[in-house]
């Protein structure tokens, strides 16, 4: 599995440490909320709503430089839209990886 990184954030901030800090702060605030929303939808087996949550999480995946994982998330989103939970374990492992990384930023 890929390793999250700050390459995109560093590139986006262009050396502006204040801007970089704001992006990281937003990540730390929004990521747990978006993951909780996804998990809540999955508990209710509301797969279409869970797919919408995955769609939102794809932006965080990109921001953390996880290019290959973005495609995993896209495939999983499509699966959920088809009422399939194929790739669920892989996607949830990715979420755990992201949470751990963001927690230590």
Q: Please report the DSSP string for 26-90 in residue order.
A: HHHHHHHHHHHHHHHHHHTT-HHHHHHHHHHHHHHHHHTT-HHHHHHHHHHHHHHHTT--TTHHH
Tens digits of residue pLDDT in 22-45: 999 999 999 999 999 999 999 999
Residue 19: the pLDDT is 96
Q: How confident is the model at residue 1 (pLDDT cuts 50, 70, 90)?
A: confident
Number of domain units in the chain: 1
User: Does 2 reside within a domain?
Assistant: no
Would the pTM count as exceeding 0.85? yes
User: Which residue range(s) make up the domain with 19?
Assistant: 7-103
User: Does 55 reside within a domain?
Assistant: yes
User: Does 1 reside within a domain?
Assistant: no
Tens digits of residue pLDDT in 46-97: 999 999 999 999 999 999 999 999 999 999 999 999 999 999 999 999 999 9
User: Does 42 reside within a domain?
Assistant: yes
């Amino acid at each position: 599995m890929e390793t999250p990184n700050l390459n995109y954030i560093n590139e986006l901030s262009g050396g502006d440490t204040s801007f970089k800090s704001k992006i990281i702060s937003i990540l730390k605030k929004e990521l747990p909320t978006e993951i909780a929303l996804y998990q809540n939808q999955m508990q209710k087996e509301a797969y279409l709503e869970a797919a919408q949550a995955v769609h939102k999480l794809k932006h965080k995946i990109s921001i953390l430089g996880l290019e290959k994982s973005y495609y995993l998330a896209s495939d999983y989103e499509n699966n959920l839209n088809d009422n399939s939970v194929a790739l669920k374990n892989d996607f949830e492992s990715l979420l755990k990886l992201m949470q751990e990384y963001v927690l230590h930023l």
